[in-house]
Structure 1
Amino acid sequence: MSTESTKRSVVVGIFVLLGIIILIAGIFVLGGQQKRFTSTIRLIALFKDVGGLKNGNNVWFSGVKIGTVKRISFVSNSQVEVDMNIEESSKQFIRKDASASISSDGLIGNKIVVIAGGTTRQPEVEDGDRLKTTEALSSDQIMATLQENNNNLLKVTNDFKELVGNLRRGKGTVGAVLTDSIVADNFKRAMVNLEKASDNTVRVTGSVAQFAAKLNTKGTLANELVTDTTVFRRLSRAATRFESTVTAADQSVATLRQTSINLNRASDKLNNTNSPLGILLTDKETATNLQVTLRNLSKGTELLNEDLKAAQSNFLLRGFFKKKAKAEAKQKADSTAAASPKP
């Protein structure tokens, strides 16, 4: 064999060896990525939509790659079953109440399965367990939401543009304040008046504070009126007495009013010519007749006295009058003797 053939064989052998080494390295790398050389367990999740998930995609837990998607198959018309190979060393951190969802590796990266949640009160997962799932937003839904937000932002921008235009044209109260000098002056005067009102409020507040301080000063009449129950009771009694006095005065006024009414009625009766008393007071003829009658009675009384004196002098009645006089004298003597004190 020539030297040239030997060199060629050595070069080919080197390239073949390098190819074998690269092949073995690739197998180990791919096997490591697919978890072919580590102990795994099988977990199952049912999704309504996997959103383009493929066999071999990664499974993440708390931001760490722990397995790959082994198989994707249809269970029914609306459910897709995803089988996952999970490192056995990671199962101690995954609980039976954990949930799985579909996400993306970055904004536009490959689809991945994300396992999250789980509480320490639940036991760890076992081979063949089925995890509950949560539906994540797809890229189409995200884009639709962004489009709707863009439309809303455009509407808000247009409304703001229209508002600024109205303000520049002087429309509305704010626009009038910004563009009309008269309205601006009125607004300034209103602010000045408001400031004065604020100052007056401050002064009134100070006066109220001073009044409150006087009320809290012991020994003053205001403080005693507010705090001393004795003064309050005295004032209450005085008010009660004053009320009683007013009531009595009202009664007196009512009595005087009734008396006045009675007097008016009596005066009306005296002035009434149809009543006897009114006739006596108002009719002159009746008054004259009454005077004549009284004079005649006086004369009749004098004549009767004279007749009685003449009767006492008559010898027929003289004995009767003497007996009567003796009886009266004896009765008077007895009364005097009874009234005098005994020795």
Structure 2
Amino acid sequence: MKRTNTQKVKLGLFVIFGTIIFVVAVYLIGQRQNMFDKTYTISSYFQNVNGLQRGNNVRYSGINIGTVRDINMLNDSTIRVDMNIQEGIIAHIKKNAIATIGSDGLVGNMIVNIVPGRGESELINDGDIIESFSKIGADDILSTLSVGSENAAILTADLLDVTSAMLNGKGTVGLLLNDTVMAQDLKSSVKNLKTASYHASQTIDELKDIIASLKTNDDSVLGMIMNDTISGERLKNVVVNLENSSLEIEKVIAQTNELIAETKESQGAYNYLVKDTSLVNGLKSTLKNIDEGTAKFNENMEALKHNFLFRGYFKKLEREQKKEAKQLAN
């Protein structure tokens, strides 16, 4: 069956439109993947790429500047991500920039965000490696929430056990909640504490008033001592004089002790009087003789008074003594 010209024209138009669509698609895809532009390659190391894939976008300060070229796992904890960066953007990226992995929106594809570094630094070159920062992923957050929910469930069960034990009167807190006698004792104790604190406050106020009166009242001895500088100086002088006197007394006592010691050890009159027993006995006998002589003298005088030769003399002497006594009395 031969094709007509109309069919041939339609086939030709279809091939032309299909070719145009294919070229446009290839251009758009190549444009997105930077296949037709000159690019620079930079790399960064991550511990977890969180689902990042080849061809995902690379952004710098929120602007798309390239795509992920390759993802290679170097070991169990290090993943290398190579990125194609547009030539015009390289002049704005410095070596202290930091690469992070995030999501494009809440549920979008994973992307690489390059954050400018702080301070001055050199511009990045082709093949350089920049620092990376791993953010907490959604899986880590969910894992943490799971552990937290489990701990919360365990804590709730423990709280229920504690609450039931308290309601049943077990333990110290349960006893306080259920024992009315102890509750009354606690109320009494609190009341006594309040009373004691009130009296303590009153006492403190009175002490403050006393101290204030001492500071302002110069009539009392303590107030004069506290406020009168002249009296304070005099008191200081008295204390100094007392200290000096005590020192002098100590010196005198020391000298007296030395003198007594020297007297005890010397061979002078004192030592002779104290230690010589014969002298003591002689003094005793002398005193005894004096006493006996005095007694005999008194007896002789009494005898003379009764002698007829001296009787008149003694009577005359007695009358004169009585006369003088009367004159003194008048």
Structure 1 residue 24, shift from structure 2 partner: 5.6
Give secondary structure in 1 for the equivalent of 2:130.
strand
Partner of 1:213: 212
Q: Distance in 2 between matches of 1:177 and 1:77?
A: 59
Matches within 5 A, 1:126-141: 126-137=125-136, 141=140
Matches within 5 A, 1:245-284: 276=281, 280=285
Counterpart of 1:167, as a letter, is M
Structure 1 residue 211, shift from structure 2 partner: 2.7
Percent identity (aligned): 31
Q: Distance in 2 between matches of 1:146 and 1:195?
A: 48
Question: 1:174-213, CA deviations, whole angstroms, 9 ceiling, x for partnerless residues?
Answer: 3333222222222222222222223223223322332343
Question: 1:239-266, CA deviations, whole angstroms, 9 ceiling, x for partnerless residues?
Answer: 5667869x98xx99xx9xxxxxxxxxxx
Counterpart of 1:235, as a letter, is L
Identify the range of structure 1 (215-224 vs 87-96) with the bigger mean alpha-carbon deviation: 215-224
Q: Distance in 1 between matches of 2:107 and 2:20?
A: 34
Q: Distance in 2 between matches of 1:223 and 1:90?
A: 87
Structure 1 residue 118, shift from structure 2 partner: 1.2
TM-score by length of 1: 0.58
Partner of 2:145: 146
Give secondary structure in 1 for the equivalent of 2:95.
coil
Partner of 1:155: 154
Structure 1 residue 68, shift from structure 2 partner: 1.0
Partner of 1:231: 231
Partner of 1:125: 124
Structure 1 residue 236, shift from structure 2 partner: 3.4
Structure 1 residue 173, shift from structure 2 partner: 3.4
Structure 1 residue 140, shift from structure 2 partner: 5.2
- Contact 2:169/2:178, CA 8 A, preserved across alignment: yes
Give secondary structure in 2 for the equivalent of 1:100.
strand
Cα root mean square deviation, aligned: 4.6
Q: Distance in 2 between matches of 1:9 and 1:141?
A: 62
Aligned length: 266
Structure 1 residue 124, shift from structure 2 partner: 2.5
Partner of 2:93: 94
Counterpart of 1:276, as a letter, is N
Give secondary structure in 1 for the equivalent of 2:118.
coil
Q: Distance in 1 between matches of 2:144 and 2:11?
A: 60
Partner of 1:272: none
Q: Distance in 1 between matches of 2:231 and 2:138?
A: 84
Structure 1 residue 219, shift from structure 2 partner: 4.3
Q: Distance in 1 between matches of 2:13 and 2:198?
A: 101
Question: 1:112-136, CA deviations, whole angstroms, 9 ceiling, x for partnerless residues?
Answer: 3232351241022222221123445
Q: Distance in 2 between matches of 1:186 and 1:141?
A: 54
- Contact 2:96/2:118, CA 8 A, preserved across alignment: yes
TM-score by length of 2: 0.60
Q: Distance in 2 between matches of 1:85 and 1:199?
A: 80
Counterpart of 1:176, as a letter, is L
Q: Distance in 2 between matches of 1:181 and 1:241?
A: 70
User: In the superposition, relative to structure 1, how do residues 81 and 280 fare at CA in structure 2: closer, same or farther (>3 Å)?
Assistant: same
Give secondary structure in 2 for the equivalent of 1:236.
helix
Structure 1 residue 48, shift from structure 2 partner: 4.9
- Contact 2:218/2:228, CA 8 A, preserved across alignment: no
1:170 aligned to 2:169? yes
Identify the range of structure 1 (127-136 vs 73-82) with the bigger mean alpha-carbon deviation: 73-82
Counterpart of 2:128, as a letter, is D
Q: Distance in 1 between matches of 2:21 and 2:189?
A: 88
Question: 1:145-197, CA deviations, whole angstroms, 9 ceiling, x for partnerless residues?
Answer: 33333333233223322332233223333333322222222222222222222
Counterpart of 2:66, as a letter, is G
Counterpart of 2:232, as a letter, is F
User: In the superposition, relative to structure 1, how do residues 46 and 214 fare at CA in structure 2: closer, same or farther (>3 Å)?
Assistant: same
Partner of 2:327: none
Unaligned runs of 5+ in 1: 256-268, 270-274, 299-343
Q: Distance in 1 between matches of 2:211 and 2:161?
A: 55
Counterpart of 2:202, as a letter, is R
